[in-house]
Amino acid sequence: MNQKEIRAELEGMRINAFNNNKLIPSNKIDLGSSRLNLLYQELHQLVLFGFGNASIVMCGVFLEALLKEILFIKGHYDYKRKMDFYLAIKECKQYLLKKQYDDLHYIRTIIRNPYQHHNLKQLFGEINFKGVKVNKLGVSPVKDISSNELRPLETIAKLRCDAETFIPLFRYCHYTAKKHSKRYLINKK
């Protein structure tokens, strides 16, 4: 990258931050745990600068850490046992409203898992990227190029999917964290 490209990239990030700042809640939130506060700040920065895929994956990491912190404070978390997001949700059920419990399962299965494991089939469902017909140099007539050869179509669709998902998901994380920090995390140790 030359200096002109770097400046253009930084300007794009500045514009993203300016625009996204209007769409997301304030980052002034105390979660009572330096680990959670750090994760939240990293997540906030990813969202602010418009890193959709990374924001979505980090939302899953953050929600899992939040649930584990609640369990630890309530004395339910056993560090010797391997606990993933699914088990954290299950173990935290008694501290969640039914809707929150259902929302977290939805986020885990429909959003977080496909993003974390880059499962485009699960993200797009029945949408299939067939490919296009193009003239290749020196080849006549028109040749089919499958979507396996032409991955940018998937990439563009995924970027649009990211853009529609990451800010609402961050808002959910913010309000969930804010609610549970007041209830369980602040001055409860």
Condensed to tens digits (0 to 9), the pLDDT of residues 43-69 reads 999 999 899 999 999 999 999 999 998
Question: What does the pLDDT look like over 172-188, one tens digit per residue?
Answer: 999 999 888 877 765 54
Which range, of 36-45, 79-88, 168-177, averages the lowest pLDDT?
79-88
CA distance 33 to 76: 17
